[in-house]
């Protein structure tokens, strides 16, 4: 079982990412691919929605998860891949290249949904340590630099307890760098058996620390 | 996004075997039996939705179509099926198909793949020889919570649903032809019933899909292929351009 956690460091600078690499370098086994993420926030423009209900919907895209779009509102979420599944194509349910769902929202559904915000990070770095896969990126919104984002992924052989310890170790390391203002969201339960559920959970972590 | 060129026609039940034979030869491909379950949603009427978006652009309220492939094993209750299966389907019910249990299964299965489509009204013009329609599509691979509840959160409610069953011919040229029947699926309380809409006959659709609406070369090529097919089948299957109003997915287009 693979576990995920996402950390967001607010009070730092765009160069913190290089300091972090120096600190990590002693643990480093290898460097991985560049990666990017984007979180978009949409707000409903319908006037008379239930006042107790949230008015926002979010989409999350991660390059290391095949850029599949996770769209989340309340407890409901869907995953839309960038490819067509065979049965749908063979049966004529889909004819061509599918579009990311955020495009559908801001294009065809723009009378109900208006994009309000986008937080994204590009050319992030990924590291392999003995315990974790760590992806680090600078998060920017329209108004500028927002902070440093860290995505932690456990080894598939690890149990939840071991993962939680590793998350704590990263937090300690960040405190050692003087970064104590950290928002954390990480897997808390053993999780269900569904393979896709991990992407739903991961997207929810991004949403929790950035949203 | 896909730009779909299409021509339509209809045949009577008796013409089916010969049509299949003809199209098998023309397409040099075997007929492929298919069945799809389609749910049509409309914007929730209780929501006050503006006609313009935040950029002050006019955005019409359109229906959304969700469709998924019905496994042939479900359709034939385990039996191996081929195109002859269609010859027995002239009633409101499909005997071998338990629609109620199928719909229950699909509603509770979060791993069902759904196509999510929004279609624009086909291009206007008096001299058009074929329908040209832009279709925006996404694929829903899985959901957390049911897909229905997500569509509900999106601001849409179910309008109607139908099943189409038929055979499909893939031409080497890229043209696709379908011969199919349509059943409306009515859910009332706990009961699910089907009603054959295409009584005594089949719908025929010939289409050519182009991935980019700016790809003029492919669009011209597709037009020529479809019009040649129309000429080849003349006096036998009369392929024609449909009334674009019938293909309009906007909510209040009949007002």
Q: Span A199-205, mean pLDDT?
A: 94
Cα–Cα distances (Å) from B7 to A133, B21, B175, in that order, read 53, 20, 11
- Residue ranges per structural domain of chain B: 2-247
Q: What is the CATH number of the domain that holds A154?
A: 3.30.310.180
Q: Roughly what angle, to the nearest 10 degrees, separates helices A160-176 and A16-24?
A: 120
Domain tally, chain A: 1
Torsion of CA B194, B198, B199, B203, to 10 degrees: -140
The number of residues making up chain B comes to 255
Question: CB-based contact (8 Å) between A99 and chain B?
Answer: yes
Picking from B120, B5, B117, B116, the residue whose alpha carbon sits closest to that of residue B58 is: B120
Residue A62: which pLDDT band, with cuts at 50, 70 and 90? Answer: very high
Please give the Cα distance from B229 to B205 (Å, whole number).
Answer: 12
Nearest CB neighbour to A48, from listed B47, B62, B209:
B47
Please give the Cα distance from B132 to B130 (Å, whole number).
Answer: 6
Which residues fall within 8 angstroms of residue B229, CB to CB, at 6 or more apart?
B7, B26, B175, B177, B206, B239
Residue B171: count of CB within 10 angstroms of its CB: 17
ipTM of the complex: 0.92
Task: Write out the E strands in chain B.
Answer: 2-12, 32-43, 64-69, 114-119, 131-140, 142-144, 156-170, 176-188, 191-196, 201-210
Residue of A nearest to B37 (CA): A93
Please give the Cα distance from B167 to B253 (Å, whole number).
Answer: 31
Residue of B nearest to A91 (CA): B34
pLDDT at B161 over 80: yes
Q: Span A20-35, mean pLDDT?
A: 91
Would you tell me which residues 116-155 of chain A have a C-beta closer than 8 angstroms to some C-beta of chain B?
A: none
Cα–Cα distances (Å) from B96 to B80, B93, B99, B198, in that order, read 11, 9, 9, 19
Question: CB-based contact (8 Å) between A49 and chain B?
Answer: yes
Q: Which domain holds residue A163?
A: 4-210
Predicted pLDDT at B255: 46
Picking from B162, B120, B158, B66, the residue whose alpha carbon sits closest to that of residue B247 is: B120
Mean pLDDT, rounded, of chain B: 93
Predicted pLDDT at B138: 97
In tens, the pLDDT along A104-141 reads 999 999 989 999 999 999 999 999 999 999 999 999 99
List beta partners, residue B246: none
Predicted pLDDT at A156: 87
Nearest CB neighbour to B53, from listed A76, A96, A114:
A114
For B241, left (φ over 0), alpha (ψ -120 to 50), or beta? beta
pLDDT at A183 over 70: yes
Distance from CA of A95 to the nearest CA of B (A): 7
CA atoms within 13 A on the CB side of B160: 9
Residue of B nearest to A69 (CA): B140
Q: Span B121-133, mean pLDDT?
A: 91
Question: CB-based contact (8 Å) between A31 and chain B?
Answer: no
Residue A60: which pLDDT band, with cuts at 50, 70 and 90? Answer: very high
Residue A95: count of CB within 10 angstroms of its CB: 23
B-chain residues near A73 (CB < 8 A): 150, 153-154
Cβ contact B138–A96 (<8 Å): no
Task: Tell the CATH superfamily of the B2-247 domain.
Answer: Hypothetical Protein Pfu-838710-001 (2.40.320.10)
Would you tell me which residues 171-200 of chain A have a C-beta closer than 8 angstroms to some C-beta of chain B?
A: 194, 196-197, 200
Report the residue of A66, A69, A84, A96 to disrupt the B interface, i.e. the one with the largest count of B CBs within 10 Å.
A96
Query: A35-49, A84-98, B42-56: which range is least confident on average?
Result: B42-56
Pairing outcome for strands A28-31 and A35-44: unpaired
Which residues fall within 8 angstroms of residue B235, CB to CB, at 6 or more apart?
none
Cβ contact B62–A108 (<8 Å): yes
Residue B211 has φ and ψ, to the nearest 5°, of -70, -30
Would you tell me which residues 203-242 of chain B have a C-beta closer than 8 angstroms to some C-beta of chain A?
A: 207, 209-211
Please give the Cα distance from B134 to B45 (Å, whole number).
Answer: 25
**What 3-state class would DSSP assign to B13?**
helix
Picking from B216, B202, B184, the residue whose alpha carbon sits closest to that of residue B5 is: B216
Mean pLDDT, rounded, of chain A: 92
Picking from B248, B229, B180, the residue whose alpha carbon sits closest to that of residue B25 is: B229
Predicted pLDDT at B126: 82
Which two structure tokens, joined as six digits, stand for A145? 């630099």
The CA-CA-CA angle for residues B157, B162, B1, to 5°, reads 70
Residue A13 has φ and ψ, to the nearest 5°, of -125, 165
Residue of B nearest to A50 (CA): B47
A-chain residues near B43 (CB < 8 A): 112
List beta partners, residue B105: none
Distance from CA of B173 to the nearest CA of A (A): 15
């Amino acid at each position: 079982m693979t576990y995920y956690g996402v950390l967001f460091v607010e009070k730092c600078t765009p160069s913190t990412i290089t300091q972090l690499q120096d600190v990590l370098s002693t643990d480093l086994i290898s460097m991985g691919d560049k990666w990017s993420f984007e979180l978009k926030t949409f707000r409903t423009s319908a006037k008379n929605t239930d006042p107790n209900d949230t008015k926002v919907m979010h989409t999350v895209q991660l390059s290391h998860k095949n850029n599949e779009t996770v769209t989340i509102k309340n407890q409901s979420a869907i995953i839309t891949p960038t490819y067509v599944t065979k049965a749908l194509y063979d049966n004529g349910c889909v004819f061509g290249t599918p579009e990311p769902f955020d495009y559908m929202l801001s294009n065809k559904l723009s009378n109900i949904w208006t994009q309000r915000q986008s937080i994204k990070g590009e050319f992030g770095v990924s590291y392999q340590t003995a315990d974790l896969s760590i992806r680090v990126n600078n998060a920017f919104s329209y108004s500028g630099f927002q902070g440093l984002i860290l995505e932690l992924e456990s080894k598939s052989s690890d149990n939840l307890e071991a993962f939680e310890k590793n998350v704590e170790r990263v937090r300690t390391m960040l405190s050692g760098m003087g970064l104590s203002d950290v928002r954390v969201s990480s897997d808390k339960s053993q999780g269900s058996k569904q393979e896709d559920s991990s992407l739903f959970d991961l997207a929810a972590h991004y949403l929790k620390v950035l949203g | 996004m896909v730009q779909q060129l299409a021509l339509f026609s209809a045949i009577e039940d008796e013409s089916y075997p010969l049509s299949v034979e003809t199209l098998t030869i023309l397409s040099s491909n075997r007929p492929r039996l298919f069945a799809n379950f389609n749910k049509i949603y409309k914007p929730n009427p209780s929501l006050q939705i503006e006609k313009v978006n935040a950029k002050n652009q006019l955005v019409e309220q359109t229906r959304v179509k969700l469709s998924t492939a019905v496994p042939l094993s479900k359709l034939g209750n385990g039996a191996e099926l081929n195109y002859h299966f269609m010859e027995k389907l002239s009633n409101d019910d499909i005997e071998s198909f338990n629609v109620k249990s199928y719909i229950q299964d699909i509603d509770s299965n979060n791993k069902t793949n759904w196509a999510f489509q929004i279609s624009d009204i086909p291009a206007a013009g008096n001299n058009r020889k074929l329908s040209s329609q832009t279709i925006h599509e996404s694929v829903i691979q899985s959901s957390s919570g049911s897909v229905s509840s997500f569509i509900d959160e999106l601001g849409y409610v179910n309008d109607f649903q139908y099943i189409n069953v038929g055979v499909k011919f893939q031409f080497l040229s890229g043209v696709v032809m379908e011969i199919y029947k349509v059943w409306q699926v009515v859910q009332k309380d706990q009961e699910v019933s089907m009603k054959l809409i295409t009584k005594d006959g089949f719908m025929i659709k010939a289409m050519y899909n182009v991935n980019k609406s700016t790809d003029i070369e492919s669009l011209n090529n597709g037009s020529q292929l479809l019009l040649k097919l129309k000429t080849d089948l003349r006096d036998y299957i009369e392929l024609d351009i449909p009334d674009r109003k019938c293909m309009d997915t906007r909510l209040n287009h009949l007002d």
